[in-house]
Copies of this chain bind each other. A is one copy, B any other.
Amino acid sequence: MGKKMSNLSNSMEEYLKKLLTLSTAGSIDIRRKELASKFSCVPSQVNYVLETRFTLEKGYLVESKRGGKGFVRIRKIQLPAENILAMFFQDIMAGRINESKVRGLIQRLYESKYISFRESKIMEAALESLKIIKDELLREKLRASLFHEMLLMLVKITL
């Protein structure tokens, strides 16, 4: 099994995901300070975990409120499968789609069961291969082309 090294951030991530799993509403509210205290760390560590593990790209939405009765709310988002492709189609056709958007796209297609886990990984690998390109502009163009072709193919074979 791919067991993760247990540093503080990983532990906190696991803990929060566990809570999310247990919650029927698919969302949890926490107190930043309390959580930090529970893990014996500074409060800003919580932000670090949220920023690196609970991003939109990874399918989470984080909201918060300061002051008295403040909170941090983490929600697992479920996007409508049918609209995902359309959402990104514009960017891709325009040849302008950044890496983080693409990763989000792959993630969402997988979550919506449009592609399998293996397929998502193959697409990620393809994305990864572009890293050898130095020229940022060319890389952007290729990224768009790559996903244009792959998505088109998916549409074709799904008919």
Contact = CB atoms under 8 A, between A and B. Distances in A.
Contact of A122 (B6, B69, B123, B129): B123
Interface residues of A, number: 39
Given A7-B69, A65-B5, A150 B132 contact: no
Contacts of A129: 142, 145-146, 148-150
Interface in A12-56: 25, 29
A119 B130 CA distance: 19
A157 B122 CA distance: 10
A137 interface: no
Q: How many copies does the complex hold?
A: 2
A40 to B, nearest CB: 15
Main secondary structure of the interface of A (DSSP, over half): helix
A71 B122 contact: no
Contacts of A146: 126, 129
Contact of A6 (B69, B116, B121): B69
Interface of A: 1, 5-7, 10, 25, 29, 65, 68-71, 116-119, 121-126, 128-130, 132-133, 141-142, 145-146, 148-150, 152-154, 156-157
